[in-house]
Structure 1
Amino acid sequence: MRFRYLRYFLEVAEEGNFTRAASKVNIEASPLSRAIKELESQLGVQLLYRAKGRIQLTWAGEVFRDEAQRILAFVESAQARVKAAEQGYRGQLRIGLCDGLAQPNLTRLLARSREEEPRTEIRIVEMPLSKMLKAIKLDQLDAGFTIDNDSVDGCFTTPVWAEQPAFAIPARHPILTFDRVPLSEATRYPLIMCHPERCASGHKTIQRWLRDSQQDALIVAQHVSSHEPMMMLVAAGYGIGIGLATQVNLFNHPDVISRPILDEGLEVTTFIAASSQRQVPQELERFTRRAQEIGGIFADN
């Protein structure tokens, strides 16, 4: 079985269309279709339903999609480990990152890991939460960072640090009369909100705050997937942004003022999620311990 056929099949499964899949793998649609038929012949099963230009996976196709992802992840991991070994590394950690959580604590963690364990290669991969959790379960990642501790079936989570949220407010906005802004005041104005899919954890967290404080009638000006576009839109006057105080300050902008949120109980905890079905690598144990030490409040747990 040829590895490229597995990649072809995964692209067809993702796109649901031979023409679009063919353009992504740089071949014509006809040879792509023949490759999939050859793959089906080798397996002795039908992987796809083909009807009126629409492509759907059979049940066997859905099962094979997961196995193909696992096979390719194993091969890619082996290649990466061999290359890393050639460069002098002795270990490797594949870490997922969702919801744009690149921030000062993570920077300090990576810098300290390089200093204390320079022979362990750390690879950071950004992706949505749902894909990150699936990649962890399929052994495509060793662990991932998330602020959602509720939607992690098949994984266990370890709290590593906690942060306070803040509003990002356009300069000269009337709400700047508050030193600490109540949610009830901010929600009177248009908001820049986390995207419900690309930034699912942040969106879920903010929705819970608004629900708990009984803020229902919202004006959402834009949805964003990270702090950087949020700050751009806030600076342009589109609305008030909600984010982690550390990241609002990290993406400092002269036309944006940061204000803490008055309401209590809105602390945001970051977790490291890892598979509950596999033994935790020693490199990941040390990485998690460093994260807790950087977070401070969990260092003694």
Structure 2
Amino acid sequence: MKLRLLRYFVVVAEEKSFVKAAVRLRVDPTPLSRAIRDLEHDIGVDLLARAKGRVRLTPAGQAFRESCLRLLALYDEARKHAHSVANGSRERLRIGIADQLAQPNLMRLLAMSREEEPATGIGILWMTAGDLLPALDHDLIDAGVTVDGDVVSSFIKEPIWSERPIAAIPRHHPLLSLERVSIADVLRYPLVLCHPEQCAGGYKLFMKSLYISGLPPPIVAEYVLGHESMMMLVGAGYGIGFGLETQAATYNYPDIIIRPVTDELATARTFIVTNKARDSHELQRFIERARRIGRAAEPEGDDAASVEN
């Protein structure tokens, strides 16, 4: 299957129109439509539902689009790697980031790596927690970053820093009368949670806390793919969300009030995952920088609970 067809499909899915996609791709609409039909025939399922000049993704099309984005990202990273080597770069680290993480500590790690080792390029690939291990196993990435703490064999998973979770509460919500909220308090209301597959690490962390506390399943208003979409829905009044302390402090949302969560909600640990069979001096230095940031960020006397895996 040609990468060109995958790119065509992704653009059609984004534009929801063959005409608009054709303008963007600088091709004629008829051959574009035929190419997507050929793609569907090759895969054996309908990816798009067509009606009166408009198209929408089928459930199979939605799943295929997500896979296409990851495949194209891997190809682009491979191309950049080849160019960096041709231009004299000594090495390039490929870092897979799962759970839609956008932590300030992660930003500091990447900035420190560029500052201390500018000759080593760093490529970022966004993926799900379930994609990390296969990507490591097939040498598509050198390390992964995730909050999914499940123990895995043949891989090294090292915690690098921890953060306390917070509750994001819409303005004028009844829970704002509390200085700290418990899980039991929050479960009385609809929640905006990480998607069980696309942001598996955050979802597992929350559900393990419920299991350990013996609490019932939550009422889920919406599943989201990351911090920004969660905050948008919380601000719109869809429900209560959960995030990390540093993420919440980075942004100012006028319609959202942040409350600390009592200790039965586990501390969120961020892990670096590597393959035992592959190693490099550049990767070891990258991990050591992560450890330094974790030590600097660790609060004194922090005895918050954490989930044991």
Q: TM-score, normalised by structure 1?
A: 0.73
TM-superposed deviation, 1:7 = 5.7
| Partner in structure 1 of residue 193 of structure 2 | 193
Does structure 2 retain, via aligned residues, the 8 Å contact 1:136–1:274?
Answer: yes
Residue deviations 1:14-33, cap 9 Å, x none? xxxxxxxxx99984766998
Does structure 2 retain, via aligned residues, the 8 Å contact 1:73–1:140?
Answer: no
Distance 1:28 1:215 in 2: 47
Distance 1:221 1:73 in 2: 31
Amino acid of the structure 2 residue aligned with 1:113: S
| Percent pairwise identity | 43
| Partner in structure 2 of residue 279 of structure 1 | 278
Amino acid of the structure 2 residue aligned with 1:294: I
TM-superposed deviation, 1:258 = 0.7
| Partner in structure 2 of residue 81 of structure 1 | 81
TM-superposed deviation, 1:6 = 7.5
SS of 1:296's partner is helix
Residue deviations 1:37-61, cap 9 Å, x none? xxxxxxxxxxx9xxxx569xxxxxx
Distance 2:40 2:190 in 1: 48
Does structure 1 retain, via aligned residues, the 8 Å contact 2:169–2:241?
Answer: yes
- Say yes or no: does 1:147 pair with 2:147: yes
| Partner in structure 2 of residue 69 of structure 1 | none
| Partner in structure 1 of residue 65 of structure 2 | none
Distance 2:138 2:188 in 1: 44
Residue deviations 1:119-167, cap 9 Å, x none? 0000111111111221111000101101122153432111111111000
Does structure 1 retain, via aligned residues, the 8 Å contact 2:233–2:239?
Answer: yes
- Say yes or no: does 1:292 pair with 2:288: no
- Write the mapping of 1:23-42 to structure 2, written as runs, cut at 5 A: 27=35
Q: TM-score, normalised by structure 2?
A: 0.72
Unaligned runs of 5+ in 2: 8-30, 47-71, 299-309
| Partner in structure 1 of residue 130 of structure 2 | 130
Distance 1:31 1:190 in 2: 40
- Say yes or no: does 1:158 pair with 2:158: yes
TM-superposed deviation, 1:180 = 1.2
Amino acid of the structure 2 residue aligned with 1:174: P
- Say yes or no: does 1:175 pair with 2:178: no
SS of 1:161's partner is strand
| Partner in structure 2 of residue 42 of structure 1 | none
Residues 31/202 of structure 1: CA separation in 2 closer, same or farther (3 Å cut): closer
TM-superposed deviation, 1:217 = 4.6
SS of 2:207's partner is helix
| Partner in structure 1 of residue 206 of structure 2 | 206
TM-superposed deviation, 1:81 = 3.1
Distance 1:224 1:31 in 2: 29
TM-superposed deviation, 1:273 = 0.4
Amino acid of the structure 2 residue aligned with 1:111: A
Q: Which structure has the bigger radius of gyration?
A: 1
Residues 125/30 of structure 1: CA separation in 2 closer, same or farther (3 Å cut): closer
Distance 2:122 2:179 in 1: 41
- Write the mapping of 1:253-264 to structure 2, written as runs, cut at 5 A: 253-264=253-264
SS of 2:122's partner is strand
TM-superposed deviation, 1:219 = 1.5
Distance 2:38 2:233 in 1: 45
SS of 2:292's partner is helix
Residue deviations 1:104-132, cap 9 Å, x none? 00111111101000000001111111112
SS of 1:196's partner is coil
- Say yes or no: does 1:226 pair with 2:226: yes
Amino acid of the structure 2 residue aligned with 1:103: Q
Residue deviations 1:173-192, cap 9 Å, x none? 11111111111111111111
TM-superposed deviation, 1:250 = 2.3
TM-superposed deviation, 1:203 = 0.6
Q: CA RMSD in A?
A: 3.2
SS of 2:176's partner is helix
Distance 1:114 1:192 in 2: 35
Amino acid of the structure 2 residue aligned with 1:247: Q
Does structure 2 retain, via aligned residues, the 8 Å contact 1:166–1:243?
Answer: yes
| Partner in structure 2 of residue 95 of structure 1 | 95
